[in-house]
Amino acid sequence: MKMPPLLRALDAYPHVRTVLVHTGQHYDANLSDVFFDELGMRRPDVSLEVGSGKHGEQTARILERTEQVLEQGPPGGGRYDRLVVVGDVNSTLAATLAAAKLQIPVAHVEAGLRSFDRTMPEEINRIVTDSICDLLFVSEPQGMTNLRREGHPDEHLHLVGNVMIDTLLRLLPKAKSGETLRQYGLQPGGYGVVTLHRPANVDRPETLGPLLDVLCQAARQVPLVFPVHPRTRARIDRLGLADRLDDHGAMRLLPPLGYLDFLSLTSQARLIVTDSGGLQEESTALGIPCLTCRPNTERPITVAEGTSTLVGSDHQSLRHGLDQILRGEYKLGACPTLWDGRAAERIAAVLGS
């Protein structure tokens, strides 16, 4: 979701040539082509086909194969001038390490985000990636504060906005004009969306069970749709919680969805319950109340200014938040400055100068 606006923005600079590398870290044969088509993104110039695996195995494979690509140089010869990485996944860290060891400068899009929770693999990826990048593109002011505290000079820092929101705003009209709501028998503003996948929420029955109970109770007041992450589906089955959902019969479980179908659901929902950082941001941009099932967040602006509230893994806090929304007593929130659909243009202006 972050690469398409960057590629389009860089195309406006004739002297800039881009090579798109798809690591395959999150590769799904059924969804890969769908996402490229829906996002309007060209097919990758290079596919590393890394696949899944333990953190160390996956990171090592990405580092090794990225190093080979960088050493070969771009098509037509020469040397790469810069690597651009996005986000906080293992691909981000591994590719940055490969480039740094080859003395190729790296720019990090979505830099400076910090949850201050080093039990999260993504937090380690963020810290290490930022420490060896010389261009840091930041989505919210707290990120600038974090990076300055860590000793990064101001000339490395650029507050540009949020490229995820660039994609959202561009595709929102298309998503809303689709048939997704009719397909599932939903009315705009008359349902909620649930997503849960983090281990802290789905790996233990004493946590996941009460959360599902609260959601099923709320679904008697407002229909809830739950596109189930494969990891979550496996945990529900393994922990013996599928029968509990069947007994309630109030929450509708859906398969994983493509971006446009999912955006159609979230953009027209009455409420969102999630443990996804990206959905925290999207709900704030959309103005949809969002209960975030995490004890902390690397995106504090979504709580301080936006529509998100942290409820942790506590089912009582989740119940209280749902009650607030359903009674019409929940905060309104606002979309942050620079989340205006032009973040990629600001990044390209720096890279293309």
Smallest CA-to-CA distance from 69 within 44, 90, 88 is with 44
- Structure tokens belonging to residue 131: 């420490």
Catalytic pick among 26, 156, 197, 320 = 197
Please state at what angle helix 205-218 crosses helix 230-238, rounded to 10 degrees.
110
Query: Pairing mode, if any, of strands 308-310 and 290-292?
Result: parallel
186: nearest Cα among 117, 269, 122, 247:
269
Distance in angstroms (rounded) separating the CA atoms of residues 294 and 225: 20
Number of residues in the chain: 353
Handedness of CA 1, 128, 296, 196 (dihedral sign): positive
b/e 78-106 (16+ beta carbons within 10 angstroms → b) = eebeebbbbbbbbbbbbbbbbbbeeebeb
Cα–Cα distance measured from residue 318 to residue 293, given in angstroms and rounded to the nearest whole number: 8
Question: Is 197 an active-site residue?
Answer: yes
Provide φ and ψ at 333, rounded to 5°: 75, 170
User: What is the largest distance, in Å, between two alpha-carbon atoms of the chain?
Assistant: 63
d(CA 59, CA 118): 18
**Residue numbers annotated as active site:** 197
